Amino acid sequence: GQQVMQIPQYQHVQEGEDFTTYCNSSTTLSNIQWYKQRPGGHPVFLIQLVKSGEVKKQKRLTFQFGEAKKNSSLHITATQTTDVGTYFCAGTGTSYGKLTFGQGTILTVHP
Amino acid sequence: GAVVSQHPSRVICKSGTSVKIECRSLDFQATTMFWYRQFPKQSLMLMATSNEGSKATYEQGVEKDKFLINHASLTLSTLTVTSAHPEDSSFYICSARDGLRQETQYFGPGTRLLVL
């Protein structure tokens, strides 16, 4: 079945440093979504990427979808303490299909 | 944005009892709802896909007789954990797919279940 691997599992940064988490799928994806989950909270949708090679930005966050639609990354520039949480990628193999979540990257930002 | 609610947010029960969790889409019709389970510091694991008016589709390893799912309307799906045991203690999260925007799922706030 479809597998989505995400690295790193943990990332500790000083406030102001950049952060990147990577996602790789065992199969070609129809689309990939990114979620953020704060400690004790539920996943909150951040963005969806659909097109091969797509790049989207949300303020300090940059999302990329690989040319082969099998990998993706989330980059945060100049992290802030409000960025702490777990970032999950989730992909669908076919349109309207079920989401397969990556393991998540737990981000800690030290002030 | 679309809102999904879950009730209760937290429940503590004795071993052997059954617990019902409700998932509602508040401002859109959800033909499909998903039920996930998340253990501490782990990812979300899909348990089942719930389609309005039909039987749920369970993922491999999920006991359908233990986790009963009912999707009676376009805005409500319920998950009943029957004869709960301590190992069922987890964070249960539902999501609903907007019938008009098929590829976007909106997550509920989750239900923390503790079985004593």
| Each residue's pLDDT expressed in tens, for chain A with a length of 111 residues | 778 999 999 999 999 999 999 999 999 999 999 999 998 888 898 999 999 999 999 999 999 999 999 999 999 999 999 999 999 999 988 655 688 999 999 999 999
Tens digits of residue pLDDT in B48-91? 998 888 889 999 999 999 999 998 888 999 999 999 999 999 99
Residue A89: strand pairing partners = A34
Closest CB to B103 among A35, A96, A102: A96
Closest CB to B107 among A31, A43, A98: A43
Chains A–B, number of C-beta pairs less than 8 Å apart: 49
Would you state the pLDDT for residue A72? Answer: 98
Residue A79 and residue A111: Cα distance in Å, rounded?
10
Distance (Å) of CA B25 to CA A29, B54, B73, B99, B109: 27, 18, 10, 11, 12
Residue B73: strand pairing partners = B76
Would you state the pLDDT for residue A107? Answer: 97
Contact residues on chain A for B106, CB-CB shorter than 8 A: 45
Q: End-to-end alpha-carbon separation of chain B, Å?
A: 37
Phi and psi dihedrals of B33, rounded to 5?
Answer: -125, 150
Q: Which of A73, A55, A12, A97 is nearest to B34 (CA)?
A: A97
Phi and psi dihedrals of B91, rounded to 5?
Answer: -105, 115
Closest-CA residue of A relative to B6 is A42
Residue A98 to residue B34, Cβ atoms within 8 A: yes
Residue B49 to residue A98, Cβ atoms within 8 A: yes
Distance (Å) of CA A77 to CA A2, A62, B17: 30, 8, 48
Would you state the pLDDT for residue B115? Answer: 97
Helices and strands per DSSP (H, E), number in chain A: 0, 11
Question: Closest Cα of chain A to B17: distance in Å?
Answer: 25
